Chains A and B, each alone.
Chain A
């Protein structure tokens, strides 16, 4: 259906580009499609090496999905991921909204240098921070806790959120805030009643980035968490569901992967427009 729609592309000059785009998209999406098929196809069918069977399965089973979804260990990982990602998102958005507004509007001595410095931080190798942070986390008895992950992820997402929101705030007409202030609202009143409501799309995009970062992060979770009760999905699933011995294990691993990825896909599909807009506005201006 989509193929037919694209084939009817307006203007014949765009048809080759549309076809090329379609081919590239199908190749790009195949591994993800393959993951979903791997989790809902009967195991023996999937091992036949029959390409047709892999592309369009004739039979669909949900037993592997059910095994994972009903597993209390998986539920624990998922809950931990939800806690860490939500907390990171809320804290990052609050901190970076205040900071970005300050850098966008309230110029103080050194604010430009500070802006540049925060940008530099997101080019620093995370392995560089790993060793000392691990020592600090151990010193404060925070190893094997979700709090250590929340603090770390918040710091990683703040520089990026700050730059996205700063770009967004700078693009708002200054006059709106000034008018609010003339009418008696203070600087903070103008921020909360005028700037933040107007920046809702930018803030949503920022929140999305913080959430994805925290949901997907691997390295620090690998080092900071050791027991199953505090592991997040990336570490939990990759250490628990990778027996790699039998085909059934693979089907279960694919089901766990699919279930770990679905929440992110849903968020992206819902917020896609805001995400691309926020990203292009904040981080890279053409």
Chain B
């Protein structure tokens, strides 16, 4: 398998550095490879300590704290009082609540549709941008841009794009005579969910296609040459060379995109606010509204705790499937 795409650049840098001090070191290279001494291990720990402390304070502690808080009925407006211990009652209330299951269902619909769309379109974009033609670099750059647009800007743009009276989406549909009446994209439950999925795909596509493109570039060109000599059709080449080569990276993309979409808050909050009539309310939104609008820290924490169970199970799957050393 070819090295990562930056290997070529690295070789160039090393060539340039030949004349510099680093290059001189290289030439005076000793045959002895020093083993790691105890002092080096201590240094290793010291260097990684800031990372560990930061993650422990801002990730590990809050995570455990959330699981703990889910067993109490704290009120956000009374921060000095510790709530009563209620055991698993918060969870029991959630499980019996039909509205909660609707929210869970919305989250699954959004995540499943958005990730499926990102992978299908991401593959198409990666394939079209992998061929060789003039202007390819420019097209790659253009396709990356939605990724770095801040989420509040994305929401602004799309609310206006989907505006029933003035938005270009309805203007186009009317011009094409698809729909003579203006479509109320964000005021109907189903349409709002569809809009949310489309916007999520638009925002998530760049990451997906970049990773797939990087993986496509590691497939040796002569495999396709050989297949062409054997008279394979483009579809057969895709089916029997491209897809099997990408199998592994596709699993990683699928799992990571699923986790990130499952956890995503901004787009729902900004684009639909969970509405109309809770039709697009998702689990991360529900954690926010329970805690900061209904002041029920216990319920918010319980929903967050349920989410983390789903995510940790999926993450462990990544670690097993991905064998991190292979792609780290």
Q: Could you tell me which A residues sit within 8 Å of B by CB distance? A: 2, 5-6, 8-11, 14-15, 17-18, 20-22, 24-25, 28-29, 31-32, 34-35, 38, 46-47, 49-51, 54, 95-96, 98-99, 101-103, 105-109, 111, 114-121, 123-133, 135-136, 138, 151-152, 154-155, 158-159, 162-163, 166-168, 170-176, 178-183, 187-188, 193-194, 197-198, 201-202, 212, 215-216, 218-219, 222-223, 233-235, 237-238, 242, 247, 250, 253-254, 257, 260-261, 264-265, 268-269, 272, 276-281, 283-286
Contacts and interface: CB of A to CB of B under 8 A. Distances in A.
B15 interface: no
20 contacts: A2-B135, A17-B133, A20-B128, A24-B128, A29-B142, A98-B50, A102-B47, A124-B63, A128-B304, A129-B62, A132-B65, A155-B57, A155-B59, A171-B7, A176-B22, A180-B22, A183-B25, A201-B9, A261-B148, A278-B6
A47 B164 CA distance: 12
A258 B86 CA distance: 49
B223 interface: no
A194 B138 CA distance: 34
Contacts of B265: 126-127, 218-219
Contact of B324 (A115, A154, A216): A115
Contacts of A129: 58-59, 62-63, 66
Looking at A233, A254, A277, the one whose CB has the most chain B CB atoms below 10 A away is A277
A188 B62 CA distance: 33
A133 to B, nearest CB: 5
Contacts of B308: 124-125, 128
A158 B166 contact: no
Interface string B146-185: 1011111111111011000110100110010000000000
B17 interface: yes
A278 B5 CA distance: 9
Interface of B: 1-7, 9-10, 13-14, 17, 21-22, 25-26, 28-30, 32-34, 36, 40-48, 50-52, 54-55, 57-59, 61-63, 65-66, 69, 79, 124-125, 127-129, 131-136, 138-146, 148-158, 160-161, 165-166, 168, 171-172, 175, 202, 205, 210-211, 214-215, 217-218, 249, 252, 256, 259-260, 262-263, 265-266, 269-270, 284, 287-288, 291-292, 297, 300-301, 304-305, 307-308, 311-312, 314-315, 318-319, 324, 326-328
Q: Taking chain A's interface residues, is the majority helix, strand, or loop, or is none over half, making it mixed?
A: helix
Contacts of A261: 148-150, 153
Contacts of A126: 263, 265, 284
Nearest to B40: A106
A130 B266 contact: no
Nearest to A166: B328
B131 A14 contact: yes
Given A98-B50, A233-B150, A281-B5, 12 more contacts: A24-B124, A34-B161, A98-B51, A106-B41, A107-B41, A111-B48, A121-B59, A132-B66, A170-B328, A193-B22, A219-B288, A286-B218
Contacts of B202: 28, 31
A120 B315 contact: yes
A31 B199 CA distance: 10
Nearest to B263: A125
Q: Taking chain B's interface residues, is the majority helix, strand, or loop, or is none over half, making it mixed?
A: helix
Nearest to A54: B168
B48 A32 contact: no
B145 A286 contact: no
Contacts of B262: 125
Given A108-B44, A175-B26, A284-B214, A123 B145 contact: no
A132 B134 CA distance: 52
Contacts of B17: 198
Nearest to A276: B210
Contacts of B66: 128-129, 131-132
B314 A18 contact: no
Given A34-B161, A133-B62, A179-B30, A21 B44 contact: no
A259 B236 CA distance: 47
Given A2-B138, A128-B307, A268-B148, A123 B256 contact: yes
Contacts of A131: 62, 65-66, 69, 287, 291, 297, 300-301, 304
A250 B166 CA distance: 11
A281 B146 contact: no
B13 A198 contact: yes
B48 A99 contact: yes
A286 B1 contact: yes
A35 B153 CA distance: 9
